[in-house]
Structure 1
Amino acid sequence: MKLPPSDWTKRRGLAALIGALDGRARFVGGAVRDTLLGAEVKDVDIATPLLPDDVMERLRAASIKVIPTGIDHGTVTALLPDGPVEITTLRRDVSTDGRRATVAFSDDWREDAARRDFTINALFADPETLEIFDYFDGLEDLEQRRIRFIGSAAERIAEDHLRIMRYFRFLARFGLDELEAEAFQACANAALKLGQLSRERVADELLKLLATDDPRFAVGKMLDAKIFDHIIAETDEQAGAMLDRLVSREQTHAAKPSAVRRFVALLPKDRDKQSAIAKSLKLSKKLQRALAERLPSQNAGMTPPVARLFRGENDIRALAYRTGVEAARDIVLLFADDDALPDLLAHLQNWQPPVFPMTGGELIERGLKPGPIVARTLAMIEQAWIDNGFADEKWLAEYVDGLDFSPRT
């Protein structure tokens, strides 16, 4: 079988790179897999029996810029005009501890394939003939949309515990809502080991899973196996139902998948627990803020615009003005009543929050004494402007003219 002709195989500089490696190279992994599935190829990876120093020397001799991104593990990166290409020397594992591996370089293609995780990720293709090399029936698994570990699932997971998360991500992305029994049981049995991994790696895989088109089946199975007990402590009992409702709404209203939005659906209702989970996963401050904006809880601290939204007393655009349109849309998809959902989303369609047309300096010019009272007064005026539907400047001027700015003793 051959790889179908694709634009990515004609990227600028790629032929020169292959030529510099003297034909001792094969495309591997996602680029091969995704091309066979008719999906977009973003990253191109190449495997070679040549040693990393030799690869770098050859590429530099061909005037191709190359950097040693992971040279201890055999990986260098060629910087081509249409994007980077990773070149990795064939390897075999010498030892593993579930978090990292000690490797030795190899010249055996099958040996290198055997150390990969899933059969569909162990496909090679010759850059010139496009002939596919399949050592573990990955082509059949790809055709059947079956996610299967190479060899023993338990052994592959013992080598790298993060493969538990990768299994469910690949199940969501490529599977057909069918479990491979051995793989699922091995993941469930080893779930406790997730606690030994860096929180950043686990969070990264979780967000990638949630960003797939429809993660409901995979996440549901993770909940069934209590795998989330080792990722998100105290997952809400309704987490699966919340995610199911959210994805259904996304599909109905043509909302693009959002890992942040779906993460909110899985979190418990308690604000303190929400914050603790975000910190335990060592999420970036930017991501923590994004989660907080989308988490109206029943506890004290719910922002007034969110509270009013669900009492139906304020226009959704007031919320969007405070949080941003994207966050407001997410809140509506997550929490609004079914009957109100279409109208609320319609109010946000193609709407851009206006700029508040007044500054503290203008209030001082009108006689307000500089100091904290300026900020308080400006906030009061802004809220009135919002409550009146982001009124025009004439209304705002008349409103401000009616205020008393005379000094108070």
Structure 2
Amino acid sequence: MAELKTSDWLQTGAIQRVFDVLEQDGDRARVVGGPVRNALLGEPVEDVDIACTALPETTMERAEKAGLKAVPTGVEHGTVTLVCEGIPFEVTTLREDVETFGRHAVVRFGRDWAKDASRRDFTMNALYVDRNGELFDPLGGVNDCLTRQVRFIGDATQRIREDYLRILRYFRFFATYGHGEPDPVALAACTAERDGITDLSAERVTKELARLVEAPRAAEVLELMQSAGVLTPAAGEPVELDRVQAVISAEQALGLNGDKDLRLIALKDERSCVHLRFSGMFCKREHAAHQARRALAAHGFGQAHLKSLAYDLSAPAVGDGILLSALDVSAVEEVRAPWSFVTSWTVPELPVTGKDLVKAGVVPGPQIGTLLEAAKKSWKASDYTKTKQALLAELLAAGEAGTEPSDD
């Protein structure tokens, strides 16, 4: 077996202490899946999952004796989360399938590492490494990982029918780690089984798409999903890719990191997408972004208009609207200057408040709101330069004369 040479992350005190807890009385433990894959590819190693031969009850007992916090996050499936030095480690007992029907497979705990590997999704995820960096690769995952080939373990159709989310996971992994053309067997199975996506919860589908759209190859893989007929069952209705692809191109042209929420907003493009589920915060951002986009389409990218929109909606909302407008302009470069301007402009605060008007003698009531709106209009017209004193004098004079304040 080979060794994982670049394994500084594996030698931290916290993870070695967890190994000490797990590897007692002949039991063995290995880091599994994502951390091993990412370390081999030179990608950041974040959450660390560990597979072990100890039963979950034994894992909890040992952890508690060692003074570690043990949380039974999925103990019926063999999973316990150990917290060491403030870092969570998800520890799962080796398993093997007895019977599979969708996500609710009948499994039993075991001690066979190869059988545990065979029930996972992709070969690049069926990789294990012990505390010393020694790799265990029962299914040829190291070669697939290093050549960036995303392949299902065993029969692709069977793997998918165990959990239809694996269709979306396949495309997400291909967009994130894949190189070259997709595995034809995997692509054919995903295409044939695509209708199973409609049985998945909206939360699971949305979460998977959110991770996919920020992947390095998101634009081309979304196109692949479209041609495979996968996006329609995922969204619940036909979607178009023009706007999200334009946003991705604009982000790349501006040197921005991919914004998954903005890309989802562009993908959704004000459709209902009934099979997806979004938070209230997301919907609020979506509404403001499209409001800005429509205003920009109607009145252009002039600086006075950008300032006015940023004042009314917020600079981030206008920045979103500009990127969403990338589809509507003749060249992506047209969004560079307005985006740079609005995201660097500090939105000023109207110097006049309701309290100021009351102190100046205005009777509290609806007139306060009317005068503040008039002040805002006059202040914008002055390019946000009029002082509080000038605005107050203007408002009070107009109020006495029964006219609108001047915009000059």
Give the structure-2-normalised TM-score.
0.89
- Describe the shift of the 1:374–1:140 C-alpha distance in structure 2 as closer, same or farther (beyond 3 A): same
Letter of the 1:335 counterpart:
S
Change in CA separation of 1:340 and 1:316 when aligned onto 2, cut-off 3 Å: farther
Partner of 1:19 in structure 2?
20
State the secondary structure of the residue aligned to 2:168: helix
- Change in 2 beyond 3 A, CA 1:83/1:356: farther
Check if 1:328 corresponds to 2:300: no
The residue type paired with residue 362 of structure 1 is D
Where does residue 194 of structure 1 map in the other structure?
A: 197
2:41 maps to amino acid: L
Amino acid at match of 1:48: C
Match of residue 7 from structure 1: 8
The CA distance in 2 between the partners of 1:95 and 1:393, in whole Å, is 75
Q: Relative to 1, partners in 2 of residues 1:201 and 1:37: Cα closer, same or farther, differing over 3 Å? A: same
Hey, what does 2:158 align to over in structure 1? Answer: 155
Partner of 2:349: 355
Alpha-carbon distance, 1:215 to partner: 0.1
Aligned to 1:45: 49
Deviation at 1:97, TM superposition (A): 3.2
What letter is aligned with 2:10?
T
Instruction: Tell me if 1:111 matches 2:101.
Output: no
CA distance in 1, matches of 2:303, 2:90: 55
C-alpha separation in 1, matches of 2:393 and 2:179: 62
Tell me which residue corresponds to 2:406. Answer: none
1:364-379 matches, within 5 Å, as 364-379=358-373
Tell me, in whole angstroms, the C-alpha distance in 1 between the residues paired with 2:45 and 2:61.
28
* Residues 12 and 82, structure 1, Cα contact 8 Å, conserved in 2: no
Alignment partner, residue 230 of structure 1: 233
Once the two structures are superposed, residues 359-393 of structure 1 have per-residue CA deviations (whole angstroms, 9 ceiling, x without a partner) of 22222233333233323432332243234333352
Partner residue in 2 for 1:287: 282
Displacement of 1:93 in angstroms is: 2.5
How far the C-alpha of 1:407 sits from its partner, in A, is: 9.4
- TM-score in terms of structure 1 length: 0.89
Separation in 2, partners of 1:376, 1:156: 64
State the identity %.
Answer: 35
Give the aligned CA root-mean-square deviation in angstroms.
2.4
> 2:216 aligns to what?
213
SS class of match (2:307): helix
Q: What letter is aligned with 1:287?
A: F
Contact 1:309 1:316 in 2 (8 A): no
C-alpha deviation, 1:91, in angstroms: 1.1
Q: Per-residue displacement from partner, 1:288-325 (whole Å, max 9, x unpaired)?
A: 11222222499xxx5xx545553748432332333333
1:293 aligned partner, one-letter code: A
* CA–CA distance in structure 1, aligned partners of residues 372 and 262 of structure 2: 32
* 1:86 counterpart = 2:76: no
Given that 1:47 and 1:90 are in contact with CA atoms closer than 8 Å, whether structure 2 keeps it comes out as: yes
* Equivalent-residue separation in structure 1 for 2:62 and 2:94 (angstroms): 17
Q: Structure 2: which amino acid aligns with 1:104?
A: R
1:407/1:398 CA distance change after superposition, 3 Å: closer
Q: Structure 2 vs 1, CA of residues 365 and 36 (structure 1 numbering), >3 Å: closer, same or farther?
A: same
Q: Which amino acid aligns with 2:254?
A: H
- What displacement does 1:101 show? 3.1
The CA deviation at 1:401 is: 4.6
**Contact preservation (8 Å) 2:121, 2:159:** yes
Task: Quote how far apart the aligned CAs of 1:102 are.
Answer: 3.3
1: CA distance, partners of 2:203 / 2:368: 43
The answer to whether the 8 Å contact 1:367/1:407 transfers is no
For 2:280, the aligned partner's letter is K
State the shift of 1:16 in Å. Answer: 1.5
Question: Structure 2: where are the runs of 5+ without partners?
Answer: 404-408
Question: Relative to structure 2, which stretch is displaced further, 352-361 or 170-179?
Answer: 352-361
> Quick one: structure 1 residues 105 and 402, their matched pair in 2 at CA, closer, same or farther if it must change by over 3 Å?
farther
- Kindly provide the amino acid, as one letter, of the partner of residue 260 in structure 1: D
Tell me if structure 2 keeps the 8 A contact 1:27–1:126.
yes
- Aligned AA for 1:386? K
Structure 1 stretches lacking a partner, 5+ long: none
Deviation at 1:258, TM superposition (A): 0.9
Q: 1:144 to 1:160 in 2, by over 3 A?
A: same
1:166 and 2:156 aligned: no
Letter in 1 for 2:384: F
Q: Is the 8 A contact 1:214 1:247 kept in 2?
A: no
Partner of 1:244: 245
| Counterpart residue identity of residue 316, structure 1 | L
Task: State the Cα distance separating 1:226 from its structure 2 match.
Answer: 1.6
Cα separation, partners in 2 of 1:369 and 1:307, compared to 1, 3 Å: farther
Counterpart-to-counterpart distance in 1, 2:323 and 2:120: 39
